[in-house]
A and B are shown apart, each in its own frame.
Chain A
Amino acid sequence: MLLKINRLRVYFKSADGLVVATDGVDLQLCPGEILGLVGETGSGKTVLGLAITCLLPKTAVASGEVLYRGQNLLALPEDEMRKVRGRQVAMIFQNPSSSLNPALSIGEQIAEVLREHRGLKRKEARQRAGELLELTGIPAKWIHSYPHELSGGMRQRAMITIGLACAPSLFIADEPTKGLDVTIQAQVVELLHAVTKGADPQRSMLLITHDLGVAAALTDRLAVMYAGKIIEQGPTVEVFRNPRHPYTRALLNSHPSNGLMAVQGFSPSLINLPPGCSFHPRCQKARKRCTQDPPSAKRMGSDHEVRCFNA
C-alpha cells in the first residue's frame, strides 16, 4: 500500500464555529493506481489533498493518520516533511495562471526543484529542466520564457513538469483541467495518462476533480466526497455502472452526457451540518433513520463501499 489514510479529520476554527472540512476519511492507494476524488465545490476534496502534503493553513487542525509507505506524514517534523514534498509526494494546484510564479522563468521553476532535492548544479538542473519540458510536450528552448508568455494549456503542462521533476511516486493533481478549453483538456488528460500509466514503473495519482468525464477517462478507482465524508468508493467502472449512493446517482445524472439533471437543493454549510446523513435534506429516499444516525460504510462488493442506509 502506497498511501493509507485513516480517520482523517480536518477542521478550521472560525468566528462562527468549527468548520469541519473532512470528517473520518479512510482512503487507500496502491502503487501505480489512479484514484479519483470527486464531489462538489466545498466538499473537502482540496483540503484532503492539502492534508496529505501537510500544506493546510495554520488555522487548520488535522487528526487521524496519513500513512505514506507506512510513515505517518501528519506526525513528521516540518523539515522532514519538506523533503517528502516535491520528491516523493508532489502536488499541483488548479489554475496554473496563478500557481506559477510570474517573476521566475519556467526553466528556473523546474530547475530549482532539481537543485533542492536532487542536489544538481545550476547548469545540470537547467539542462534537465529542458529535457523534462520536452517530455511533457514543450520545446526545450522555452525554458527561458515566463508564465505570462505561455498559453493556458502550456502553463498546465509546465505545472505538471514541475510536479514530476523529481519523479515522485505519488502525484496529487487538484482540478488539473479546470478552466481549460475542451480540446486542451483532452490533451492534458492524455498527458496525465502518459506520465502515470505510461511511466515505468507506473506512478500513483490522486486526481481531484469535479469533472466526471475526466475521472472516468483516467481513474482506476473513484471516491465520491460529500460534506467532508467519502460517501461511496469503488472501482471506477463499477461506480459508474452501478452507483449505490443517491448522491452519486444524482451526480452522474448531472453530467451533460446523462441529461444535465442538477442535484436538487444546496450543498450544506460545513459549520452546521445536518444530523444523521448529511445528504438527507436533499435525498428523495430519506427515511426517519437518515435524519438521526450517520450511516457507516457498508461493503457492497469485493471493493465497493457506500455510506447509505438504503443501499
Chain B
Amino acid sequence: MRRLIVRRLISAVFVMLIASLLSFCLLFFAPGNPAEIVIRQQSGLDPTYAEIELFMKQHDLDRPFLVQCLQWSYLLTRGNLGVSLRTGEPVLEEFTARFGPTFQLAVAAIVLSVIIGLPIGIMAAAKPNSLFDHVTRIVALGGLSVPEFWLGLMLMLCFSLALGWLPCFGYGSVNHLVLPVVTLSVGITASLARFMRASMLEVLHLEYIKTAKAKGLREAVIIWKHALKNALTPVVTVLGTQLGHLLAGAVIVETVFSWPGIGKFFVDSIYARDYPVIQGFVIITAVMYVLVNLLVDVLYVYLDPRVRYEGRGQ
C-alpha cells in the first residue's frame, strides 16, 4: 500500500513537470516574438521596438530559457497560470468558474457509459460468438467510428428539430443535458463494452471459474460475481484512461452544443489566440489526469484485495 502511494506521488510529480514544460514550450513554438503577439492582442496595434523591449523586461522574457522555465514552474506551484488576454481575469479563475458544467457532463457521460457498456460487454462474453456478441461487436465498432461532433449535430437534427423533444443548445435543465451526454457517451460506451468483454473472456478461462462450476453455482452467479469481480479491475484502469477521451470529447461536444464548460472556453481561447489559457489547459489536463488516477487507485483497492498489500501491478 505504501509502495503504491509513493509510486503514484512520483509519477504525479513527473506528469506535472512534463506538463509544465510542454505548456511552457508551446509559447516558444509560437511564430514570432511572444511579447509582440501579446501586445498586439491587447492593443490591436503593431507594437514598436521599444514597446517590445519594455514588455520583455517587465515580464522577464529577456532572461535565459531555463530561468524562464523555472520561473513559470514556480508560479505554477502557487496556482498562478497567468492572466487571460481576452478577459483580463486570472486563467485559473476562468477555469474553475467553468468547471461545474464540464464536470456535470463528464460524470453523467461516464455513468451512462458504465451502465450500458459494462453489461453489454459482460453478456457478450458470457455467450461468445452468439448473435448478441456479433451484433454488439459491430455496433460498438460503429460507435467508435462516428465523429462526435457530427453525431451531436445529427441528434440535434433528429430530436430537437424533427421531433421537438429536447432543446438543441444551451445549459440549464436536465433536458439540456441529454443530447450532449448521449453524444459523449457513445464512444466511451463502445470502448468500455469491448474492454469488458475481453477482460471477462480472459477471466472465464481461469481455474477458479471451473471451481465455481464444480460447486454447482448458477451461471448468473459465476458470471456476475466470480468472474466480474476479477474482470472489473483492468476495466477500472481503462476507465481512468478514458479521461483523455472524455476531455477531448468534452471540448468538441461543448463546442457543438454551446455548453458553457472549460472545453468550449478552451476552443474559444484558441480562436482568440489567448495563449495563457491554452497553456493553462495543458496544466489543467495534467491535474485532472493525476486526480482521476488517484480515484482509480482507490477503486482498485476496493476491488482487488491483493492490492491492499502489494500495490498495483503494471
Residue numbers of A with Cβ under 8 A of B are 53, 55, 82-87, 90-93, 95, 98-105, 112-113, 116-117, 146, 148-149, 159, 162
Contacts and interface: CB of A to CB of B under 8 A. Distances in A.
19 contacts: A55-B210, A55-B213, A85-B213, A85-B215, A87-B216, A91-B214, A93-B211, A95-B207, A98-B208, A101-B229, A102-B304, A102-B306, A103-B304, A104-B229, A113-B216, A116-B216, A117-B216, A146-B305, A159-B211
B206 interface: yes
Contacts of B304: 102-103
A113 B214 CA distance: 10
Contacts of B229: 101, 103-104
B41 interface: no
A274 to B, nearest CB: 32
Interface string B191-215: 0000000000000001110111111
Given A86-B217, A103-B230, 14 more contacts: A55-B214, A86-B214, A91-B214, A92-B211, A95-B207, A99-B207, A99-B208, A101-B226, A101-B230, A104-B229, A113-B215, A113-B217, A116-B217, A162-B211
Please list the 9 inter-chain residue pairs (A to B) with the smallest Cβ-Cβ separation, ordered nearest first.
Answer: A86-B216, A85-B216, A103-B229, A98-B207, A86-B215, A146-B305, A101-B208, A91-B214, A99-B207
A83 B207 CA distance: 20
A118 B213 CA distance: 17
Interface of B: 206-208, 210-218, 221, 225-226, 229-230, 303-306, 309
B221 A101 contact: no
A116 B215 contact: yes
A192 to B, nearest CB: 17
Contacts of A92: 211, 214
A148 B309 contact: yes
Contact of A101 (B211, B216, B218): B211
A112 B215 contact: yes
Contacts of B211: 92-93, 99-101, 159, 162
A217 B300 CA distance: 45
A99 B226 CA distance: 12
Given A93-B207, A102-B208, A148-B309, A82 B216 contact: yes
A132 to B, nearest CB: 14
Contacts of B208: 98-102
Contacts of A86: 214-217
Given A93-B207, A146-B306, A148-B306, A101 B212 contact: yes
A103 B304 CA distance: 6
Nearest to B211: A99
Contacts of A85: 213-216
Task: Classify the interface of chain A: helix, strand, loop or mixed.
Answer: mixed
B202 to A, nearest CB: 13
A236 to B, nearest CB: 26
A239 B229 CA distance: 47
A98 B207 CA distance: 6
Given A99-B208, A102-B208, A148-B305, A83 B214 contact: no
Contacts of B309: 148-149
B304 to A, nearest CB: 6
Contacts of A162: 211, 215
A84 B215 CA distance: 9
A101 B226 CA distance: 7
Contact of B218 (A90, A98, A116, A148): A116
Nearest to A79: B218
A162 B218 CA distance: 16
A213 B225 CA distance: 39
With most chain B CB atoms within 10 A of its CB, the pick from A55, A84, A99, A162 is: A99
A91 B215 CA distance: 8
Nearest to B206: A98
A82 B219 CA distance: 9
A293 to B, nearest CB: 38
Contact of A104 (B207, B218, B226): B226
A67 B229 CA distance: 36
A147 to B, nearest CB: 9
Contacts of A98: 206-208
Contacts of A82: 216-218
Nearest to B226: A101
Given A112-B221, A148-B309, A102 B214 contact: no
A102 B218 CA distance: 19
A148 B208 CA distance: 13
A112 B303 CA distance: 19
A103 B217 contact: no
A142 B62 CA distance: 68
A90 B212 CA distance: 11
Contact of B230 (A55, A102, A159): A102
A93 B225 CA distance: 20
Contacts of A100: 208, 211
Contacts of B230: 101-103
A86 B222 CA distance: 14
A204 B111 CA distance: 51
B246 to A, nearest CB: 27
A84 B217 CA distance: 10
A83 B304 CA distance: 30
B151 to A, nearest CB: 37
Contacts of A116: 215-218, 221
A159 to B, nearest CB: 8
